[in-house]
């Protein structure tokens, strides 16, 4: 079995989660190269030994003929140029979500990918989570009857840094955070979102107002087939990383989520207490790993990934419509 | 301590819950009379013995000078005339929610009550529920910081009878069911609702479409102080009576609700299973009792009830605005 | 339907729970008389109005021909004489557990009851608890296959008063507290206990050593049919009143118990917390009520109660054997 | 950082869990060699590529000078000879529990290890489990006051193969299964077990009677400092792999365990259901990994492991005493 050589572009938090996993040689792949603006940090992080090339310009990494596939895990606004270059270089591409902040950028990226005929996977890792995957499987098996109502909560424990959160950089709360729910809900409802209405506000991280972002949003959704959905996305809930989803069907309802990390309860005169999930790595690291396994497997078997270009576009369309609805104070039809 | 004589107008489901409790002589009160169109059923139900008068016309009950207070627990569209007559008769009045289907009726009822100077309590029994009351107390104590997001789910286990559910009779799903949430959320958020947006549909009880009602609604809310809220109200969830509420504060979050009725779990090769709460009597009977205790106590001590005319009007205003939003497909400002 | 007149002998904690319920006229019964050494307290507690006789000598209550049945809810060491006198007076008898501290006293009480032909019910109220009753029903329905292992925990939140706990008064920890479990486990296992082994100690309430009692016991049980059981009984667990039971069957396992009282959870930076059940009234008041309903119904229909003399004797035999095993440090065969 | 070369002796279930992890190069270690009687299976399992030597005689593996440490993960009765040979070869040794079936074998193994001065770790992986480790930490921090009562349940989902379970091979139920609890409870109670009493039976896997083993045991324990403990160990509970532990302290109580594997709940007309943990790999794989990390780190830093020879001996002594108690029907003092 030939080794699959992976190049990682960007060594931020997500880049490191993925690199750490690649260092374990999953599914016959290896971390062949990284591209980063801080090569010294990379050396330290990688601890050498494994003959990994460190580039400071991603073009050089893309020019490396030994590389089979790349992970684009840089900041969102840089994805467009990198993905187009990677497609031009004929690499299989994994791109972190959101792949871009606009539909036009998205479309030019997807066109480049299509033209080059390269594999393209988008980083909606929740699809690989045990809980969400079990829900999908049961819904497809008909266990809940027809899915009719979808609900999701995504709460971050802290406030993001303002620079990072600025809409020009992150796309804003809805695009950055609720986009995961906008991927999950249509997938689980097996339907398209037709109309959204969003309320939002600066309630938990007042400093974000200065960079033009909100910290809390409630989004109402109507699906094409008549089903309904709603999403709460919020920063700084303080108690942990709280990701929940609920799908009501005509026969039964599924609730996905887990707020406990350590299997221990304390029974004290002040009540019964368990801990919470601290942050997304505690909750989704196995999903990040399975997502990468899938990318490697798709490269090896030359098959299309389960979460591809169309999915990236779908979630982005809903996110953009919801963001617009928030600004306009009116329901917005989701663009095709 | 003088006995408080209570007359019950209407012996439907709610009338019987209250009558059964009055038969126990709570707080020195007694069931003195009932008014019902089916006196034979009433005789059977009351099992005599306690010298309870049975009227077939509520005017006769109101004319009974021995009666101190009345419970108006008939169908909603009859509340208006009965309450005005009861006020005219100088009785203390407890009226089941919603007190009317329109603001104008509500206002004429409240005017009559005010003019007569009689005690008036409205049947938002959730305020007397252990869980909701604990939440209120903790929020007032500052335990969660400032409340910023409110969420409520109200799911009935079955479809209502179509006749009963027809908007001309019940006011429609939002007015009948979500009105409880529209009482709870402003109370817990300590704020007024300013704007609502509602989506709804016929997803779980298709037969309701024929009488012009929906079975599912998702309502988005903006509070005057900037807080956000959302409510799901639905019929026929099949698995039980599911009443949940969540209040996010700047420091902590409270979740109210209980989906288990019997303290037993079964561990089987098919998983770990507990039962659910079957219907509202299983969930809220203690709250109905405490609500009645409060009414009796207010009569005895001649003090205003905690849930009065203004509360009835507030929840109705939100319900009407949400119903209109659903029909118009636009956000609606809640009328003063 | 003729009213059933009940006399309550003893107005301690259990006496008051029962009296309060009788004041509501359950199942056509009424509280006709009480016997207490503190008549002033009784007057205050009963708040008159209902024409209840207050005796200071239980013999006078027993001589009252209007009384149909009596509740013997005095301290354990007084049960023997009262029950024999009540049997002699031809009253239906409800006796709180344990009915006596020795088998010989128990046998003379049961002989007197038998000779008089009066109804006799013992206060194992857990049989009327929703959770335990559901377990019994499922086991009898064959839902768990053959029951093979039984486990019970009974933890009190505080230390008892030493005077009260002294073995000469209460019978000691095992007889006072674990006797409930020794009633439950054979009932749920549908089998007799053959052999017990007990360890115990002074770990949580050191002051009890001075009166010769322990505060913690672990008891191992072997059933006649080969099944196994074990019980932990303890004082002063601090966090609440914790009553759990688990029955393993060849096909499935049932867990009975509930450690949460109020349906609310707090999600804070320190974890997720709910409250606990404070004390036995919070946990078992509905069971006390159903137990009394059953007593009244048995009087009315002249039928034998579900929890009678034989059950009182069974649980006592196991308790005495376990107490002896603790003292001797050896397994003890349960006397017939 | 020099690579640590690990040899794995035995490629059964536990051998494979460990080998799979070593293939990921944890902490700078690598799987250098395996010893197995089925080299063809090993080739398939290892999928070559990584230059791993496959021996069919463990002596050859021990003679390999490149090997720094070995994992002894063969059947229990073979541990004695292998460990002594490994010590003689100067290898660091990790030995799966139980390290032997008798105290005399254990002592000769530990003597050999001591004489050779080699590192010795025993496979009590629960010490590395997140839940158990958190309990230990909190107890040491004084969070629960003095630990006074310890409880553990270990239930396997199925019956073992009779050949494997035969006491001459596995040591019998108590030695094979409860030994984990006999490691955990003294560790968490911070005390020695002084006396045990065991009941047992053939209740769930009748076929084990033919090979002289039981399937269920309840063990009572008295600690030297007066604390109490009890353990249930059982086969074939059918519903999953159920490992629970509870430590009562004078101030608070800790409950360790988790019966849910997938973060999803189904709400259906038949109740609310979640899945269970299927088997020990689902529950303890992260603990197996951390245990191996620790072994590698101890080799690298030349420091003594946290779970060493004395711990192996302690848990064995209790297991043997409990086994004897079951056979004799008497409490047994734990041998020094």
pLDDT at B336: 78
Cα(A175)–Cα(B126) distance, integer angstroms: 37
Check if D229 contacts C (Cβ < 8 Å). yes
Average pLDDT over residues D17-28: 91
pLDDT tens by residue, B264-285: 999 999 999 999 999 999 999 9
pLDDT, position A198: 98
Residue D49 in this model has a pLDDT that exceeds 60: no
pLDDT in tens, B315-334: 999 999 999 999 999 999 99
pLDDT at residue A46, as a whole number: 86
Question: Quick check: B25 pLDDT over 90?
Answer: no
Average pLDDT for residues B131-153, to the nearest whole number? 98
Beta carbons of D160 and D234 less than 8 angstroms apart: no
Under the banding of pLDDT at 50, 70 and 90, the label for residue A89 is: very high
Q: Does B227 touch chain A (CB under 8 A)?
A: yes
Q: What is the pLDDT, as a whole number, of residue D28?
A: 87
Q: Is B250–A204 a contact, with Cβ atoms under 8 angstroms apart?
A: yes
- CATH architecture of the domain A128-285+315-333 equals 2-Layer Sandwich (3.30)
**Residue D50 above 80 pLDDT?**
no
Judged by a CB distance cut-off of 8 A, whether residue D167 touches chain B is no
pLDDT at A217 over 80: yes
CA distance C22 to chain B (A): 10
The share of chain D scoring above pLDDT 70, in percent, equals 99
**pLDDT > 70 fraction of chain A, expressed in percent and rounded:** 99
Instruction: Confirm or reject contact between D270 and chain B (CB < 8 A).
Output: yes
What's residue D26's pLDDT? 87
> Nearest CA to B266 among C131, D45, A256?
C131
CB atoms within 10 A of CB C207: 13
- What letters, b where the CB count within 10 A reaches 16 and e where it falls short, cover C43-72? eebbeeeeebbbbeebeebbebeebbbbbb
CB contact under 8 A, C204 and D250: yes
At residue C305, the pLDDT reads: 97
Beta-sheet pairing, D29-35 with D53-55: parallel
From-to residues of CATH 3.40.50.720 in chain B: 4-118
- Output the six-digit token pair for C326: 């603790």
**Residue C270 distance to chain A (closest CA, Å):** 7
Cβ–Cβ contact C239 with A under 8 A: yes
Q: What is the mean pLDDT of residues A157-173?
A: 94
C267–A259 C-beta distance less than 8 A: yes
Tell which D residues from 38 to 67 touch A, by Cβ distance under 8 Å.
47, 49
Q: Which of D272, D277, D278, D279 should be substituted to probe chain B, the one whose Cβ sees the most B Cβ atoms within 10 Å?
A: D272
What confidence score (pLDDT) does residue D48 get?
58
| Nearest CB to C201 within list D199, D202, D228 | D228
For the stretch A35-48, pLDDT in tens is: 999 999 999 988 75
Contacting partners of chain A (3+ CB pairs under 8 A): B, C, D
> Which residues of chain B make contact with D268, given a CB cutoff of 8 A?
238-239
pLDDT in tens, chain C (336 residues): 689 999 999 999 999 999 999 988 888 899 999 999 999 999 998 875 568 999 999 999 999 999 999 999 999 999 999 999 999 999 999 999 999 999 999 999 999 999 999 999 999 999 999 999 999 999 999 999 999 999 999 999 999 999 999 999 999 999 999 999 999 999 999 999 999 999 999 999 999 999 999 999 999 999 999 999 999 999 999 999 999 999 999 999 999 999 999 999 999 999 999 999 999 999 999 999 999 999 999 999 999 999 998 999 999 999 999 999 999 999 999 987
Return the CATH fold of D4-118. Rossmann fold (3.40.50)
Specify the domain boundaries for CATH 3.30.360.10 within chain C.
Answer: 127-284+315-333
pLDDT in tens, B34-93: 999 999 999 998 875 568 999 999 999 999 999 999 999 999 999 999 999 999 999 999
Quick one: pLDDT band at residue D24, thresholds 50, 70, 90? confident
Q: Tell me the average pLDDT across D182-207.
A: 98
pLDDT > 90 in chain C, percent: 93
pLDDT at D47: 77
b/e code D211-240 from CB counts within 10 Å (16+ = b): bebbbbbbbbbbbeeebbbbbbbbbbbbbb
Residue C98: C-alpha distances to residues C48, C123, C161, C196, D12 (Å): 31, 8, 18, 19, 55
Residues of D in contact with B259 (CB under 8 A): 267, 272
Average the pLDDT over B200-208 and give the result: 98
Measured between CB atoms, which of C238, C269, C272 is closest to A269?
Answer: C238
Compute the average pLDDT of residues A217-227. 98
Residues of chain B with CATH 3.30.360.10: 127-285+315-333
Nearest by CB to D253, from C195, C228, C239: name it.
C239
User: pLDDT-derived band of residue D160, with 50, 70 and 90 as boundaries?
Assistant: very high
A271 touches chain C (CB under 8 A): yes
**Weakest-pLDDT range from A5-19, D17-31, D59-73:** D17-31
- pLDDT confidence bin for A49, thresholds 50/70/90: low
Minimum-distance CB partner of C264 among B23, B255, B261: B255
Architecture of the B127-285+315-333 domain? 2-Layer Sandwich (3.30)
**How close B315 comes to chain D (CA, Å)?**
30
The class level of CATH for C127-284+315-333 reads: alpha beta
Q: Which of D195, D204, D218 sits opposite C220 (nearest CB)?
A: D218
Buried b (16+ CB within 10 A) or exposed e, B223-235: beeebbbbbbbbb
Lowest mean pLDDT among A189-203, C218-232, C293-307, D40-54: D40-54
Q: Is the pLDDT of residue B227 over 70?
A: yes
Closest in A23, A262, A268 to D134, CB measured: A262
D262 touches chain B (CB under 8 A): no
pLDDT class for A28, splitting at 50, 70, 90?
confident
Give per-residue pLDDT as tens, C34-52: 999 999 999 998 875 568 9
Residue D138 has pLDDT above 90, yes or no: yes
Q: Please give the Cα distance from B58 to B52 (Å, whole number).
A: 15
Q: Hey, what CATH topology would domain D130-285+315-333 get?
A: Dihydrodipicolinate Reductase; domain 2 (3.30.360)
pLDDT for A125-161, tens place per residue? 999 999 999 999 999 999 999 999 999 999 999 999 9
In SS3 terms, chain A reads as CCCEEEEEECCCHHHHHHHHHHCCCHHHEEEEEEECCCHHHHHHHHCCCCCCEEECCHHHHHHCCCCCEEEECCCHHHHHHHHHHHHHCCCEEEECCCCCCCHHHHHHHHHHHHHHCCCEEECCHHHHCHHHHHHHHHHHCCCCCCEEEEEEEEECCCCCCHHHHCHHHHCCHHHHHHHHHHHHHHHHHCCCEEEEEEEEECCCCHHHHHHCCCCEEEEEEEECCCCEEEEEEECCCCCCCEEEEEEEECCCEEEECCCCCCCEEEEECCEEEECCCCCHHHHHHHHHHHHHHHHHHHHHHCCCCCCCHHHHHHHHHHHHHHHHHHHHCCCEECCC
Q: Does C259 touch chain D (CB under 8 A)?
A: no
Residue from D227, D226, D198, D213 nearest D321 by CA: D198
């Amino acid at each position: 079995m030939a080794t699959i050589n992976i190049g990682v572009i960007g060594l931020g938090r997500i880049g490191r989660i993925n690199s750490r996993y690649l260092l374990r040689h999953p599914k016959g792949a290896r971390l062949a190269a990284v591209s980063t603006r801080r090569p010294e940090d990379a050396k330290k992080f990688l601890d050498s030994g494994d003959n990994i090339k460190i580039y400071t310009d991603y073009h050089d990494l893309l020019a490396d003929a030994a590389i089979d596939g790349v992970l684009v895990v840089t900041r969102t606004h840089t994805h467009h140029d990198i993905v187009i270059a990677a497609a031009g270089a004929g690499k299989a591409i994994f791109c972190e979500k959101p792949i871009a902040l606009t539909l036009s950028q998205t479309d030019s990226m997807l066109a480049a990918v299509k033209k080059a005929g390269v594999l393209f996977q988008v980083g909606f890792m929740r699809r690989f989570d045990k809980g969400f995957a079990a829900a999908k499987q049961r819904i497809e098996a008909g266990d809940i009857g027809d899915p009719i109502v979808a609900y999701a909560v995504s709460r971050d424990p802290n406030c993001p840094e303002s620079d990072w959160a600025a809409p020009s950089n992150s796309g804003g709360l809805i695009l950055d955070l609720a986009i995961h729910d906008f991927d999950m809900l249509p997938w689980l409802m097996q339907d398209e979102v037709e109309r959204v209405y969003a309320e939002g506000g600066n309630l938990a991280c007042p400093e974000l107002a200065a960079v033009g972002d909100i910290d809390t949003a409630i989004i109402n959704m109507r699906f094409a087939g008549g089903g309904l959905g709603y999403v709460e996305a919020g920063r700084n809930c303080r108690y942990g990383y709280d990701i929940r989803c609920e799908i009501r069907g005509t026969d039964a309802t599924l609730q996905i989520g887990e707020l406990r990390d350590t299997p221990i309860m304390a029974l004290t005169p002040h009540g019964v207490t368990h801990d919470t999930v601290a942050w997304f790595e505690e909750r989704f690291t196995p999903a990040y790993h399975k997502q990468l396994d899938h990318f490697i497997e798709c490269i090896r078997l030359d098959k299309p990934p389960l979460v591809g270009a169309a999915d990236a576009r779908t979630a982005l369309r809903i996110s953009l419509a919801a963001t617009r609805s928030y600004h306009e104070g009116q329901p917005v039809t989701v663009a095709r």
